[in-house]
Chains A and B, each alone.
Chain A
Amino acid sequence: MSAPGRSASSQLARKRLAGRRALLATLMLLVAVASAFPLLWMVLSSLKTPAETMQVPPVWIPRTPSLEAYEKVSGVINVGRSMWNSLVIATITTAGILVTSMMAGYAFAKHHFPGRSLLFSVLIATMFLPPIVTLIPLYRLVGSIGLNASLAGIIVPNLANAFGIFLMRQFIAGVPDDLIDAARMDGASELLILFKIVAPSVAPAIAALALFAFVYHWNSYLWPLTVLQGNAEHYPLVISLSRLLSYNRGALNTGLVMAGATLAVLPPLVLFVLLQRFFVDSIVGSAVKG
């Protein structure tokens, strides 16, 4: 049994807590809606008829969803070809980054050699270099080795990067030395140790790096645009799509533009939904451990 005064005050406190929770829930909902709205609107608009996209006040949900806009996109740009190009670029680049990052990450984590920390610092510094700083000479350099206007020109300069090396070193450093020493005693080569013993124990980090690299290079725009010099045959999807905006300029192309944007968003977003955990964990790992 509690005194009447005390129960009144605890009731007040409970009321206040409930009020705070309601406010917080409302805020969270608002933030989620604001964040999701542009993409929802993109998908909905891609399913509207041209007349519906023009209507004022706007039609939010298409009355008769149609794939007309998607058909029109494939009439303006070569969707299959561009998707294939994007896939080739992102896949090969990712594979290269995985191999070079694992090898270098292993050397930095588990080998001792003179100048190790200096070399590591120099490599890591490149992580903070905006690509525009090197764009002009890189464009000339890639041209002078005969790779301009080709898929190889997009891929080769990106086969190694500092972020991958950094991430791999962070995680490989946590692999017990005993495991590696035992394998060395057995006479296993370093490459064998890396791929048979070290790699399986850092598999989640490798998965995360693969996802990041794939999405980054699927999305990348500035370098492909520069190195391809207008060679449309090799355009990745993101560059092909940019032409939709100038096609039939004005409000009439809204459905077309939204259908194209939806096509570009789908692959990375599906990857994200399936493998969300890995993304978040690796960001946390790179920030907290760094």
Chain B
Amino acid sequence: MIKNYRASAGIMLAPAVTLIGVFILLPMLLTIWLSFQDWSTQTPFSNASFIGFDNFREVFGPTSVGRHFKRALLNTAIYTALSVMLILPLSVAFGLMVYQRDVAGGTALRAVLFSTYMVPMIAVTLVWSKLYSPSEGPLNQMLGLAGIGPQPWLSSPRSALISIVVLNVWQQIGYFTVLAVAGLTQIPGSLYEAATLDGANRREQFRFITLPLLRRTLLFSAVIAIINAVQVFEPVALITQGGPVGSTNVLTYHIRRVGIERAQGGLGSAMAVMLMLALIVVVCALFAFANRKDDE
């Protein structure tokens, strides 16, 4: 009997494990291997020749390859940090609005917020490229009504990256709000009742009950927000092409340009490996930070 079930477990796992093995795990290992090779993406893997750490030296070197990569790495770091800094507080604020029972309409608000999460990024990009339009775009029109001069949004190196962050946060915030609400429902109501009896006001209850008990939710949200942020592609590919003056050249766009469009597979793979390492370091640091807080 037992043996039978083992065999059938194998059959059950075979399709998923084979597909994920061939199309995700194998390419991941190939990326690592290729990062040490001189290889053109237009040639078979067998054409690759080992060159040690040369690709890594080049992507961190003083040439234009290195300058562009380092800029893309920095842009991605700024982009990710800004996204997380906007998403976490907004998701908690919106989550509280959805969760509270003083004013009706929480569920409707959740539906409105979450609906944007269904919208394809390409449509988000098309719509926001027009919202941001300098002269007839509605954003500058509305600023004009408020007596504020027109903003350059996507066309200035100072504001282009944050403009893309904003459209991404607009799209994703509903998902993180749903996560925050899920976290809020886990907090026992008795804690708030006890705090009220002890004379704690709303602000104190938020500071000493809500926030600490949301920590696990916020950690999960932060990890997902980071993974999402490094994937930003459509607005950059369609509107800014990495500009103006390299200010929106982020890693997903840059790695694809180097590794696919310019077919420099070895160099692109070295950049992908650095992205993977950076992500591992950041996520581990986040977990360490959260656990240290747990010990307090």
| B186 partner residues in chain A, CB cutoff 8 A | 288
Q: How many residues of B contact A (CB 8 A)?
A: 97
A132-144 interface bits toward B, Cβ cutoff 8 Å, 1 = contact, 0 = none: 1111111111001
| A27 partner residues in chain B, CB cutoff 8 A | 97
| A260 partner residues in chain B, CB cutoff 8 A | 126
Partner of A56, one of B112, B116, B131, B136: B136
Residues of chain A from 96 to 130 with CB closer than 8 A to chain B in the complex: 99-101, 103-104, 106-107, 111-113, 119, 122-123, 126, 128-130
Is B255's beta carbon under 8 Å from chain A? yes
Q: Are B120 and A128 interface neighbours, CB within 8 A? A: no
A218 to B122 CA separation, bound complex (whole angstroms): 11
Partner of A35, one of B106, B118, B174: B174
Q: Are A261 and B20 interface neighbours, CB within 8 A? A: no
Q: Are A132 and B16 interface neighbours, CB within 8 A? A: no
B154-181 interface bits toward A, Cβ cutoff 8 Å, 1 = contact, 0 = none: 0000000000000000100111001101
In the complex where A28-B97, A136-B31 touch, is A222 in contact with B256 (Cβ < 8 A)?
yes
Partner of B112, one of A36, A103, A131, A157: A36
Q: Are B41 and A136 interface neighbours, CB within 8 A? A: yes
Q: Are B272 and A129 interface neighbours, CB within 8 A? A: no
A194 to B13 CA separation, bound complex (whole angstroms): 13
Q: How many residues of A contact B (CB 8 A)?
A: 97
Is A25's beta carbon under 8 Å from chain B? yes
CB distance from B123 to the nearest CB of A (A): 4
CB distance from B273 to the nearest CB of A (A): 8
Report whether over half of chain B's contact residues are helix, strand or loop; otherwise say mixed: helix
Q: Are A265 and B120 interface neighbours, CB within 8 A? A: yes
B96-134 interface bits toward A, Cβ cutoff 8 Å, 1 = contact, 0 = none: 010010110110111111111011111111111111010
Q: Which residue of A lies closest to B12 (CB)?
A: A107
In the complex where A31-B94, A32-B108, A136-B272 touch, is A284 in contact with B136 (Cβ < 8 A)?
no
Q: Are A290 and B27 interface neighbours, CB within 8 A? A: no
In the complex where A28-B109, A135-B255, A137-B269 touch, is A190 in contact with B260 (Cβ < 8 A)?
no
Q: Are A257 and B126 interface neighbours, CB within 8 A? A: yes
| A53 partner residues in chain B, CB cutoff 8 A | 136
Q: Are B12 and A106 interface neighbours, CB within 8 A? A: yes
Is A95's beta carbon under 8 Å from chain B? no
13 residue pairs bridging A and B, Cβ less than 8 Å apart: A28-B103, A28-B109, A56-B141, A133-B275, A135-B256, A140-B41, A141-B23, A141-B27, A221-B122, A222-B231, A226-B260, A244-B126, A257-B129
Binding site for B on A (CB under 8 A): 17, 20-21, 24-25, 27-28, 31-32, 35-36, 38-39, 41-42, 45, 53-58, 99-101, 103-104, 106-107, 111-113, 119, 122-123, 126, 128-141, 144, 156-162, 165, 189-191, 194, 215, 218-219, 221-222, 226, 238-239, 241-242, 244-245, 251, 254, 257-258, 260-262, 264-265, 268-269, 271-273, 276, 279-280, 283-284, 287-288, 290
